[in-house]
Amino acid sequence: MLRITCPYCGIRDEDEFRFGGEVREPRPGLEVGDTAWADYLFNRNNIKGLQRERWCHADGCGQWFELNRNTLTHEFDPVHSNGIPRPEFKG
Amino acid sequence: MNGYSFPNLVRHALSGHRNWPVAWRSPELKKSYDVVIIGAGGHGLATAYYLARDFGIRNVAVIDKGWLGGGNTGRNTQATRSNYFWPQSSAFFDRSLQLYEGLGRELDFNIMFSPRGVLTLAHSHHELAGIRRWANAIQINGVDSEILSREQVQDLVPLLNLDCHYPVVGGFIQHRGGISRHDAVAWGYARAASTLGVDIIQQCEVTGFEIADGKVTGVSTSRGRISAGKVSIAVAGHTSVLAENAGFRVPVSSVALQAMVSEPIKPCLGCLVLSPAIHVYVSQSDRGELVIGGAADGYTSYAQRGGIPALEENLAALVELFPVFSRLKLMRQWAGIVDITPDTTPIMGLTPVKNLYLTGGWGTGGYKAIPAGGETMAYTVANDRPHPLIGDFSLERFTSGALIDEGAASGVAH
Amino acid sequence: MRQLFRNTSGGRINRERPLTFSFNGRTLQGFDGDTLASALLANGVRTVNRSFKYHRPRGILAAGVEECNALLTVDSGNGRVPLVRATMIRLCEGLSAASPSGFPHVRFDCGRVFDATRRLWPAGFYNKMFKWPNWHVFEGAVRRMAGLGRVPEGQDAMRYRHMNAHCDVLVVGAGYSGLKRALEEARSGQDVIVAEQDFEPGGSLLLEKQDSGKAAADGWLHAVLDELRTYPNVRLLLEATVSGYYDHNVLTVHDRSAMSNGIETFCKIRAGRVVLATGAIEQPLLFGNNDLPGVMLAGAMRHYAVRFGVRCADNTVGVVNNDLAWGSLLDLHDSGVDVVAIVDSRGEISNRQAAAADQRGIPVHTGSVAVRARGSGAVTGLEILDSRGKRFGIQCRSVAMSGGMNPTVHLYSQAGGKLRYDEALACFVPAHCTQAVEVIGAAAGAFAAPDDYRIAPRTSAPFRSNTQWVDFLHDVLVSDIELAVRENYVSVEHMKRYTTAGMAVDQGKTSNLNALSVLARLTGQDPGNVGTTTFRPNFMPVTMGAIAGNRQGGFYRPTRHLPAHQWHVSQGAAFDSFGLWKRPAYYGVDMQQSIRAEVTAVRHKAGLFDGSPLGKIEVSGPDAAEFLSRVYVNTVATLKPGKVRYGLMLNENGAIIDDGVFVRLADDHFLLNTTSASAERIAAWLEQWHQCEWPELELIMTPVAEQWAVATIAGPKARDVLSTLAGVGDLGTDILPHMSFRQGRLASGLPFRLQRVSFTGELSYELSIPAGQAASCFAQLLAEGKHWGLQPFGIEALDVLRTEKGFLHVGGDTDGTTNPYDVGFGRIVDNKQGDFIGLRSLLRENHQKASRRQLVGIETLDPEAPLEQGAHVICGTNGQRRSEGFVTSACYSPTVERHIGMALIENGFARQGEEVRIYNMGHIVRARIKPPCVYDPKGEKMHA
């Protein structure tokens, strides 16, 4: 069972989280062609190895964040960030 | 004397079974083949067999990084059915079921096909309406299906608790559906293909493709390069990895799908029971084990092992449906990596690279597709155009939007 | 009742507490502290089971988890359970055990005919036959022979619970190594959990025989246990088997310690570090008839002698290939089992061993191997081949064999740990693992001091290979592996699957190593190169109920009740399940009659509906309008505060996923309604879009569905009914027209939200009030409304009312492939300015095709002929039939007094008025395509 570190709540069991898939390229505008749109919408890198991905602490704070996980070993790369610094709680 | 039959078994018994020939050869890897098939699972082996049988193309190598039948072919729950909503899927999977029905004799290898019926449960009137829509579609597609009342369901599966948390209101059954022995399917195809001259090369990993002018000319492997007229990819959960090597992306996510078995007990469950609403299915193997499957794990993975949440979820659902199973013990739990497409329909046919073919995206339904998958891919490789049965399963559909969304239509994915 | 094989003294049993139990109907006696296996052996029981395939008699082989023969059906007071390891269950008063096999009896089994003809049934025989006419014909008979017990009968009296725990260190195994480590960790302040599968801690310390060794071992054990008990940071779990080792150091434990109280516990332990002190399992030797009752593991025989004071037989011959087994044999001898000879395959033994044997008068044959055991139902002798090639026999009642130790590395392997073959130890030992796990003691291969463990290579006897058992339970013979190799099933996985070696319920604890050693020899490889198969959870089978826990019956899923549930009950509601919700389907006894009456009331007077599960999400912030514009198909910017608009949501693939109205409360503040079924899903989905794709948009979302109960008042008298609520304000249609909104406080001080929207086609108001006040509000409305003919109506009537109006039911009239064009919202898509979720996909060729299925109304030509939801519209004739679509909604309309429905039909918009055939389960009726709305098509009623 994965033990996932939510940047806001700390380490929790995987069943509190929802997986959001690999982090993708930005959503294209309406002007892109069908092929490029299909590539964005459906194609995936589906990396075997270290993958940057999204998780949501669904049964917790409800926040989405990104982290790096090895899809073969399920090890997390401790460096993760979604651009939001980890909040500091003062005692 | 080398055929498989009871008289031959008796004859060989007299000589202590010391004279049986090999089931398949272990040939030397040649430098060049007309066709190289990557992946010696059910699909790859079946493709090779039908290439040799139907098209006389015998200079074929099936190469695998591990041992033949060692991927999802040897890890699934052995279920076979063709009760599909969409006509394309129904036609394809029913062809597969027909081939399964005669496969033991075709391959001279008992694959233990057991058409014991696949029962799908409805837990509400809304679901029953959905099932009616599904069952009608199946009948119109020319495939058997029968709606059962609550009482008929109980007669068929006496141990089922109809008054579970989501009371069973009825169901529908495909009588011709059932189970078979997964290893035997791989071994049967391997033996038959090998006999026809196909080289099965195990412990040989493909590391890259040789592509010139948009056309594949060979593959590089852990045991050197092989030139190939045509190359077909049949690697189940690893489709993305191979496609990336060949320079294109595919609409596939790999996830771990768990299966589990109980300790073996005397026969207590006839047909295969499937509950789409509470995500569990169960059958009893010929050895007596309850074979249990359910929803896939919730995140992408290439690790062939399952987690605890899916285990608990599957067993809670099973015990809810069959309270009498609560005292039985779970023996083993394992997982296979399945490649899931956005519409849960497989991807079969040509690729952006010329002479390179792909069968993948089988999700949770690859096993039941093996015979027809092999037959149609053999046609596709031999003729360089998709077999009519798989024309709609091409990569193209993702660009045009012509998805074949079985999950959305029937509530049950492949 | 006499225990003929029980020594008069010794052992860790309580002779003051005799226990009565039964086996196959015979009443027997044992002592407190016995296992079922030791009690059976004390009573001289030899044959406990029959083998799977050949129905050979089988006796107890081992004393621990590795036991593969004594798998019995046992009732310890909580019902019959199949496949209980007799070696693992503590004897209790009144226990009844039975052999699961043997027809008519375990001691005389007609199935033995398969043994007599076993040449016909080698590995994989079933692959080579049963093809004509087909396998299914033979299957029934084969199935009936398989299985090791029956499904339990009656209600399960057990209670199952889950326990979650965290610790710094989990020590698996409370033997010497485990306890020593646990103590060290405890002393250094670590939170420690120790899990031991036995009911007594101590492991091999319990096997020190009656002399100074026992005193020292007991002394150490007591001291350590006493000290451990003083630490609040130490938990010792007994009868708790660690069954699975998962990612991130989460392990599952099957705790059976409270079984006598009817409780089994499944623990999930999250450990900072894991220390595996799981010991090692002694392996059998391969010789002829090595499966006969009476052939046992040497260590197991010592176990029974020392721990339970039980002689497994009066005499024995020791057949060994390693040093450790000598200790067992000498202990056995000293415990009253006459060791008549020791046969050691090694050429040399130590002086100490020679002296010990000499002192006890035991003849020793070095460089010798067992050829075969003699006997039919049980061992009567052993044939030996000595170093000079001479064959001779020894009479004996049992054989104590030892093929050396194999570390219990199952959990390590489950953790992802890799194994390495150790030549000197002739077994696989842990190599490396990415998880925080450490293996100590015998589990790491430290069976003894390095010089004290020498082992001869694993081999099989120079005897007929079809009499040498590798896997006792599955009847796998050395000759089966030979056949596998001959047929080229040479990878270890192929061999395992072809022969089924190691695939029985013991998962090869005593067979894997021998099987792959034989495979290695036959293929001329090192065992290390052959490799081993991966171990999977569970280490020991776990009760399925325990894994499911208490998530059964009413706890399988939570049930959601409406805030005014009791009020609905008092109104005679018949409830139905909608997701987790229980909602009133109709009120009354007769479903059809009730629906009809409720529909008529709404059409002519007024009805009251509980719409509380409706999803409600508030979106506020400067960018709220922009966000909603990207989410809805419909235009948002032009909506004025206080006004309501209908909206469709698509997924990025262009398929409709939800609909509902949205209200502009203020310029920067919206209230969204979603369908009841999708309330949580849509709220989460919107959050994902905001957080992941458009974090730059400034807004916050708050789901408020649970805060507000919703009373829908619909019908021509709705305004009159609602006006009775003081403080609700002027309801005049010019003040509060259709699709407008108001909020405020009632005279009672209760806050309310009111939106005039209609899903029934009548004048209709949705009144939201705080959920806690729902019941009293419903009661008040009904009391006041009685005068106007108000009556409650349920979901079934609502469905009829909206079908009469041709209103869309997302999820019923749509599926995951339906786009807005298909349901007649094409104009809205075309008029929308800017991008929204799903728009790009709608521009693809496939989404613009006229041949798509489109939502239309449908009615049977014969007004009496019913339509069924799920029936298909077909074209073509028998054999060449094709579906052109299907009926998505169907009901009897009391308003127009006929069966009506809606259907998704290919090119349906252009086929208005066309006659079609409807197929349902073999029956065909004729029907006509119509506009979806059959009631008040101009919408005058709801604007009234």
**ipTM of the complex in this document:** 0.97
Q: What pLDDT sits at residue B152?
A: 97
Closest residue, chain A, to C846 (C-alpha) = A34
- Which positions in chain C touch B164 (Cβ < 8 Å)? 553, 556
B175 in reach of chain C (CB within 8 A): no
Asked if residue B390 lies in contact with residue B47, where contact means CB atoms within 8 angstroms, the answer is no
Helix (H) or strand (E) holding A85: none
Burial of B329: CB neighbours in 10 Å, binned 0-12, 13-18, 19+: buried
For residue C446, which of C303, C204, C201, C280 has the smallest C-alpha distance?
C280
Closest residue, chain C, to B18 (C-alpha) = C483
Closest residue, chain B, to A35 (C-alpha) = B399
- Test the B interface: residue of C89, C126, C544 with most B CBs within 10 Å: C544
Closest Cα in chain C, distance from residue B212 (Å): 32
CB contact under 8 A, C120 and B331: no
Helix (H) or strand (E) holding B324: none
| Separation between Cα atoms, residue B387 and residue B371, nearest integer Å | 14
Structural tokens at position C659: 């609909």
Series of mean pLDDT values for 10-residue runs along chain C (944 residues): 88 96 97 97 96 94 97 93 96 96 88 92 94 90 89 91 97 98 98 97 88 84 96 97 97 96 97 98 98 98 96 97 95 95 95 96 97 95 96 97 97 96 95 96 90 90 96 96 97 96 92 96 94 91 96 90 98 94 97 97 98 97 98 97 97 95 98 95 96 95 96 98 96 96 96 98 98 96 96 98 97 92 95 95 91 96 93 86 95 96 97 96 95 96 94
Closest residue, chain B, to C889 (C-alpha) = B129
- Which positions in chain B touch A53 (Cβ < 8 Å)? 299-300
Please write the tens of the pLDDT for every residue from B135-178: 999 999 888 899 999 999 999 999 999 999 889 999 999 999 99
Of B302, B309, B400, the CB nearest to A14: B309
Residue A89 CA neighbour count, 13 Å, CB half: 5
CB contact under 8 A, A51 and B300: yes
Structural tokens at position B179: 């189970």
Q: Interface partners of B (3+ CB pairs, < 8 Å)?
A: A, C
- Which positions in chain B touch A25 (Cβ < 8 Å)? none
CB contact under 8 A, A34 and C845: yes
- Test the B interface: residue of A37, A40, A41, A48 with most B CBs within 10 Å: A48
- Test the C interface: residue of B302, B331, B396, B412 with most C CBs within 10 Å: B331
With both helix axes pointing from N to C terminus, report the angle between B370-383 and B182-195 in degrees, rounded to the nearest 10: 30
Whose tokens are 């062939």? That residue is B304
Closest residue, chain C, to B147 (C-alpha) = C921
C166 in reach of chain A (CB within 8 A): no
CB contact under 8 A, B249 and A45: yes
Of A18, A41, A73, the CB nearest to C434: A73
Given the DSSP bridges, would you call strands A18-22 and A50-56 parallel, antiparallel or unpaired? antiparallel
Closest residue, chain C, to B307 (C-alpha) = C246
Q: Which amino acid is at C451?
A: D
Q: Which of residues 3-62 of A touch C (CB under 8 A)?
A: 3, 13, 18, 20, 27-30, 32, 34, 37, 41, 54, 56, 58, 62
Interchain CB contacts (distance < 8 Å): A and B: 71
Asked if residue C501 lies in contact with residue C480, where contact means CB atoms within 8 angstroms, the answer is yes
Residue A77 predicted with pLDDT over 70: yes
C832 in reach of chain A (CB within 8 A): no
pLDDT category at A87 given cuts 50, 70, 90 is very low
Residue B412 predicted with pLDDT over 60: no
For the beta carbon of residue B32, count every other beta carbon within 10 angstroms: 13
Of C268, C692, C843, the CB nearest to A64: C692
Terminal-residue alpha carbon distance, chain A? 31
CB contact under 8 A, A56 and C684: yes
CB contact under 8 A, A41 and B398: yes
Closest residue, chain B, to A36 (C-alpha) = B399
| Separation between Cα atoms, residue C875 and residue B264, nearest integer Å | 49
- Test the A interface: residue of C270, C692, C845 with most A CBs within 10 Å: C692
Tell me the CA distances in angstroms from C43 to C63, C88, C379, C878, one per residue in order: 16, 18, 17, 72
Closest residue, chain B, to A51 (C-alpha) = B300
Closest residue, chain C, to B123 (C-alpha) = C577
- Which positions in chain C touch B328 (Cβ < 8 Å)? 82, 151-152, 543-544
Region of B167 (left: φ > 0; alpha: ψ -120 to 50; beta: rest) is beta
Please write the tens of the pLDDT for every residue from A5-31: 999 999 999 999 999 999 998 999 999
Closest Cα in chain B, distance from residue A91 (Å): 34
| Separation between Cα atoms, residue B257 and residue B179, nearest integer Å | 18
Residue A91 predicted with pLDDT over 50: no
CB contact under 8 A, B132 and C489: no
Q: Interface partners of C (3+ CB pairs, < 8 Å)?
A: A, B
Q: What pLDDT sits at residue C876?
A: 85
For the beta carbon of residue B25, count every other beta carbon within 10 angstroms: 16
CB contact under 8 A, B324 and C653: no
Interchain CB contacts (distance < 8 Å): A and C: 51
| Separation between Cα atoms, residue C897 and residue C863, nearest integer Å | 8
Helix (H) or strand (E) holding C755: strand C751-756
Of C250, C841, C844, the CB nearest to A3: C250
Is the whole model's pTM more than 0.90, yes or no? yes
Structural tokens at position C165: 């725990």
Q: What pLDDT sits at residue C815?
A: 87
Please write the tens of the pLDDT for every residue from B366-382: 999 999 999 999 999 99
For residue C792, which of C587, C582, C581 has the smallest C-alpha distance?
C587
Q: Is residue C133 reached through a cis peptide bond, with omega within 30 degrees of 0 on the bond before it?
A: yes
Of C248, C652, C845, the CB nearest to A2: C248
What average pLDDT score do residues B318-335 get?
A: 95
- Which positions in chain B touch A76 (Cβ < 8 Å)? none
Mean pLDDT of chain B: 94
Residue B321 CA neighbour count, 13 Å, CB half: 27
Mean pLDDT of chain A: 87
- Which positions in chain A touch B307 (Cβ < 8 Å)? 1-2, 14
Q: Which of residues 33-72 of A touch B (CB under 8 A)?
A: 34-35, 37-39, 41-48, 51, 53, 71-72
